[in-house]
Structure 1
Amino acid sequence: MALIKLNETITIAMSVKDRHESADWYKEMLGFETIYHADEAGWSEIKTNTQGVTIGLGEHTKPAPGNCVPVFGVEDLDAARVKMEDVGVRFDGPTDVVDGMVKTATFYDPDNNALMLAEDLTKS
């Protein structure tokens, strides 16, 4: 049995120079659909053709090439984080919160690969 319960969503987060341009590229090349642009947060999400899988585009002036962070949806991020920390999982700083939108926390696997948990605050 798993330590924490994930919901049925995965967001693949990537850094890009221009979120709007990237979203258009994914639409034209792969048929993906823009879900929203959160300009105040520097974040956009696009829907892939796989149910429950989205791509999140974080805008950065100098994105690192080849970066990709799987983001796993959870119903209660705080509770999941406590359970994971109790067994020694390393997190990268405090939980980030965008009020009324999302709560996220980056953590690392044993090989130092970055992963993230996210709680959707729009459903609260």
Structure 2
Amino acid sequence: MSLISLDTNITFSMSVTDRHASADWYAAMLGFDLIYHADDVGWSELGTNTAGVTIGLGEHTEPAPGNCVPVFGIADLDSARQKLEQAHVRFDGETIVVDGMVKTATFYDPDGNALMLAEDLTTKAD
């Protein structure tokens, strides 16, 4: 039995220097479709050819080479985080909230691999 229940979607988050150019590359090379560019928060998201799997592109001036963070959708991030913290899972700082868009929290497996939980706020009333 697991501590938390994940949604049926997953996003692979990667750091890039130019989200727009990277989105064009993923479209041309792999046939991915742009879902949106959120320029105000430095994020772009693309749909892959696999149902429920997206690629998120976070813009950074110096992205870490080879970095990829699986982002697991979850209905109640706060509850899940509390359960994981009680089980001594290490988180990277506070939960980040982009109002009306998403709530995220990065945590680590026992080997230090980064994983992220994301709660979709686009369909929730304020």
Q: TM-score, normalised by structure 2?
A: 0.97
Q: Partners of 2:10 and 2:75 in 1: how far apart?
A: 13
Name the amino acid aligned to 2:18: D
For 1:66, the equivalent position in structure 2 comes to 66
1:23 corresponding residue in structure 2: 23
- 2:98 maps to 98
Q: Tell me the distance in 2 between the aligned counterparts of 1:75 and 1:123.
A: 11
- Give the structure 1 partner of residue 89 of structure 2: 89
Unaligned runs of 5+ residues in structure 1 are: none
3-state SS in 2 of match to 1:84: helix
Unaligned runs of at least 5 residues, structure 2: none
Q: Which residue number in structure 2 is paired with residue 56 of structure 1?
A: 56
Structure 1 residue 112, shift from structure 2 partner: 0.6
Q: Which amino acid aligns with 1:20?
A: H
Structure 1 stretches of 4+ with a deviation exceeding 6 A read none
Q: C-alpha separation between the residues in 1 aligned to 2:26 and 2:46?
A: 8
Task: Write the distance in 1 (CA, Å) between the matches of 2:92 and 2:60.
Answer: 19
- State the alpha-carbon separation in 2 of the partners of residues 80 and 35 from structure 1: 27
Higher share in strand: 1
Task: Name the amino acid aligned to 2:123.
Answer: K
- Corresponding residue for residue 32 of structure 1: 32
What corresponds to 2:3 in structure 1?
Answer: 3
